[in-house]
Amino acid sequence: MGQPVNEQALHVMEQELKIKGKQINQVIELLEEGNTVPFIARYRKELTGGLDEVQIKDIMDRWTYLQNLASRKEEVTRLINEQGKLTEELAAAIDKAQKLQDIEDIYRPYKQKRRTKATVAKEKGLEPFALWLLEQKNDNPLERAKTYINEEKEVLSVEDVLQGAKDIIAEMLSDDADMRKWIREDTFSKGELKTEGKNTETDEKKVFEMYYDYQEPIRKIVPHRVLAVNRGEKENILKVGVGSPIELILSKMERSTIKRFSSPAAPFLKEAIEDAFKRLISPSIEREIRAALTEQAEERAIHIFSENVRSLLLQAPLKGKVVLGVDPAYRTGCKLGVVDETGKVLHIQTIYPTPPRSEVEKSAAVVKKLINQYDIEIAAIGNGTASRETEQFIAETLNNLDRDVAYVIVNEAGASVYSASAVAREEFPDLQVEERSAVSIARRLQDPLAELVKIDPKSIGVGQYQHDVSQKRLGEEISFVVETAVNQVGVNVNTASASLLQYVSGLSKTVAQNIIVKRNDIGKFKNRTELKKIPRLGAKTYEQCIGFLRVMEGDQPLDQTGIHPESYPGTKALLKELGFTTSDIGSDALAEKLKTFSVEEASSKLNIGVPTLKDIIEGLTKPGRDPRETSSGPVLKTDVLKMEDLSTGMELQGTVRNVVDFGAFVDIGVKQDGLVHISKLTDRFVKNPMDVVNVGQVVTVWVDSVDVSKQRIALTMVAPK
């Protein structure tokens, strides 16, 4: 990352992030040493004061910005100095600047410009006259202007002289950093974003109808409306502009420029001021404000998308169940995939219960046979094409069994992308694309995290406008979210796919693949130490990854926990102190003993930090604990619900499928997800829906209204009185 933390940058970060300077310094030092964010968050708590992954990443991002700012300050200082124009005041202003925009405003007058009206006027020798006008003396400007007429330089009249001078003054005003700053602030605080219809006939579904004649204060516009407007403009349906408080700005510009309104120069200066604003400043400020609004809106959209992905990845797994995966279809038939408790494929078959073939009885016989043959306890049905008819068929088939088998509707967004991918072809070379989808749907229910990491997160179908934002920024944020989720859960090194392993702290795609190759070669790893033999897994990588890799049923009991090998000596000393050994890990006797001893005393005696000791105790008490187990499980169903069955006030259980700025979409078991508007999430004011709900959460809702013709369902989470 580069330079050490200077006091000014440290102070700025302390103020903005509300984190102590000592913690910030430690995090930056650890990052500089090549440690990953998950490793620092989990295994260096004593040094960071227990900062979590998000706080550590915030420090990393802010530090990177401040380094870029410092580099730009140095560069701008050098460039101005090379022109011989660097003054003490200018150097102080550059040093004081806290934003890249402020630096660019300061540098603007010294930037190499393409030929402008002002540069042409200067070439014609009119700059002295422009500066004379700005002195606002009592002399007649028209008389003075005559002395600058020069046929050789194509200055043929008084009008030419005055126009050239006004062009020079307009550019000077446009280059004034302080003036640009307050004009930008005034436009942002008092201006409006205005939209009007352009080619509305191409907007067949009237998606952008509310923006055909629309205006809203810039400071109030919410991020999803900014992105909607941008998309409408991009599709050439809308014309978008910024309405500035022109009279206010011109008045302030005049007061700051004209010192004597009685001066004969004042009328000419007024003309130059108006030209400066309308021709030079306003279009530039509009671009800057639109860019700032877009950046804020994109950051918000990326945040919403990444938080939804995090919730989706951390959904509770359905462990220990044999699952029947069903990928619905019409003409090509429904693909069935039976997978055992570990996700291993046991059976693949195609049935045709839906039109055009509608072989209901024949298909039901196949499903019943598979349920009995493999002792299937649950069916997972994809929510894509033909899902409703397939659900009806499965529900009726299960109701005719003499045993309890439930079904779940699984969001299959991205399943087809995965099924046609190189990862899927490598995993299932002998299966058809649709057959791979059936297996993926079943596995999504069993272990959402392990299955979803194989798919490009942008295909998962949660969020808003994620395809309209910076794909580079989105990719960075999503990688961080997936990496954080994977490392929070931990990975069984003997069952994990390369797709999952590559997100483990410190591991690359190549090393992940090398682990798979070695595992295939030896059967399975017996302990963590064996991983040191993996090609390209050096000492630093081993340190970063090993605590997150679990070896279940190996020859070292501590390897099944989240305890890092560097803490094994201290852990064994703790066990010895309590009268136990590593073979007692997870036992009730050890758990009871650990409840009664003093953590502070043991910390001092064993020379282990309190945060690390608490993590060790958790590892010894619950060695195989999965943090996802506290999340809502899937809603199990036995019967079908249609939109026509809904009535106002009906109480239902549903699963949150997507959270957006204006509310949450909830799957209540009918084809269309219902919307709980932000105002109906709770009986108190809600600023951010994510404060109330998250993707995958099971919630109780009541039907507010149903519009069958428009396929719209309005729900509320506020109980009717």
pLDDT tens digit string along 510-556? 999 999 999 999 999 999 999 999 999 999 999 999 999 999 989 99
**Which of 31-45, 211-225, 447-461, 633-647 has the weakest average pLDDT?**
633-647
485, 479 contact by CB (below 8 A): no
Taking residues 417-439, what's their average pLDDT?
88
The total of other beta-carbon atoms located within 10 Å of residue 426's CB is 10
Taking residues 588-596, what's their average pLDDT?
92
Cα(38)–Cα(272) distance, rounded to whole angstroms?
A: 57
pTM metric for this prediction? 0.83
Tell me what the pLDDT averaged over the chain comes to: 92
Helices (H), 587-673: 588-596, 599-606, 610-621
Helix/strand number for the chain, H first, E second: 30, 15
Taking residues 634-660, what's their average pLDDT?
82
Q: What is the DSSP letter of 330?
A: S
Radius of gyration for the chain, computed over Cα atoms and rounded to the nearest angstrom? 33
pLDDT tens digit string along 52-95? 999 999 999 999 999 999 999 999 999 999 999 999 999 999 99
Query: What was the pLDDT predicted at 235?
Result: 95
In the chain the domains, ranked by start, together with CATH numbers, are: 7-110 (1.10.10.650), 148-302 (1.10.3500.10), 323-446 (3.30.420.140), 488-629 (1.10.150.310), 643-716 (2.40.50.140)
660: β partners: 663
Confidence bin at 38 (pLDDT 50/70/90): very high
Residues 6+ apart with CB under 8 A from 467: 458
The pairs formed by 284-288 with CB atoms below 8 angstroms and a separation of 24 or more are: 284/174, 285/180, 285/183, 285/184, 285/187, 285/242, 285/244, 286/187, 286/241, 286/242, 286/244, 288/101, 288/184
Taking residues 225-251, what's their average pLDDT?
96
Please report where in the chains the tokens 């073939």 appear, as a residue.
357
Query: What was the pLDDT predicted at 124?
Result: 96
Share of the chain above pLDDT 70, in %: 98
- Residue 281 CA: distances (Å) to CA of 258, 287, 498, 601: 18, 10, 54, 67
Q: What is residue 38's three-state secondary structure?
A: helix
Strand residue runs (E) in 328-428: 334-339, 345-351, 378-382, 406-410
Is residue 1 scored above 60 in pLDDT?
no
pLDDT tens digit string along 4-29? 567 878 888 999 999 999 999 999 99
Query: What was the pLDDT predicted at 561?
Result: 95
The pairs formed by 501-506 with CB atoms below 8 angstroms and a separation of 24 or more are: 503/453, 503/479, 504/545, 504/548, 504/549, 505/36, 505/37, 505/38, 505/39, 505/544, 505/545, 505/547, 505/548, 506/36, 506/39, 506/540, 506/541, 506/542, 506/543, 506/544, 506/545
Phi then psi for residue 675, to 5 deg, are: -100, 125
Taking residues 577-581, what's their average pLDDT?
93
Q: Give the amino acid at 354.
A: T
Q: What is residue 350's three-state secondary structure?
A: strand
Picking from 379, 365, 380, 325, the residue whose alpha carbon sits closest to that of residue 348 is 325
380, 407 contact by CB (below 8 A): yes
What sign has the CA pseudo-torsion 195, 199, 200, 202? Answer: negative
CA angle in degrees (0–180, nearest 5) for 648-652-658: 100
**Which of 83-97, 140-154, 255-269, 638-652 has the weakest average pLDDT?**
638-652
Q: Quick one: tokens of 714?
A: 């309005």
Taking residues 241-255, what's their average pLDDT?
96
pLDDT tens digit string along 454-472? 887 777 767 667 778 888 8
Q: Give the amino acid at 126.
A: L
Q: Give the amino acid at 650.
A: M
Query: What was the pLDDT predicted at 490?
Result: 94
Residue 116 CB burial class (10 angstroms; 0-12, 13-18, ≥19): middle
**Which of 67-76, 164-173, 336-345, 379-388 has the weakest average pLDDT?**
379-388
Query: What was the pLDDT predicted at 82?
Result: 94
Cα(679)–Cα(693) distance, rounded to whole angstroms?
A: 13
Q: What is residue 664's three-state secondary structure?
A: strand
Cα(606)–Cα(597) distance, rounded to whole angstroms?
A: 13
CA angle in degrees (0–180, nearest 5) for 640-642-645: 110
Q: What is residue 246's three-state secondary structure?
A: helix
Query: What was the pLDDT predicted at 638?
Result: 67
Query: What was the pLDDT predicted at 4?
Result: 55
Higher-scoring residue by pLDDT: 416, 189: 189
Confidence bin at 3 (pLDDT 50/70/90): low
Burial letters for 38-67: b for 16+ Cβ neighbours within 10 Å, e otherwise? bbbbbbbbebbeebbbebbbbbbebbeebe
Residues 6+ apart with CB under 8 A from 1: 28, 31, 32, 60, 63, 64, 67
- Residue 215 CA: distances (Å) to CA of 195, 228, 283, 701: 6, 14, 18, 35
Give the DSSP per-residue string, 419-476. HTSHHHHHH-TTS-HHHHHHHHHHHHHH-HHHHHTTS-GGGS--SSSTTTS-HHHHHH
Query: What was the pLDDT predicted at 710?
Result: 78
Query: What was the pLDDT predicted at 164?
Result: 97
Is residue 633 scored above 80 in pLDDT?
no
Q: Quick one: tokens of 206?
A: 């009237």
Confidence bin at 254 (pLDDT 50/70/90): very high
Alpha-carbon dihedral 63, 65, 71, 73, rounded to 10 degrees: -110
Is residue 244 scored above 60 in pLDDT?
yes
549: β partners: 491
Share of the chain above pLDDT 90, in %: 72
Is residue 711 scored above 80 in pLDDT?
yes
Taking residues 133-157, what's their average pLDDT?
94
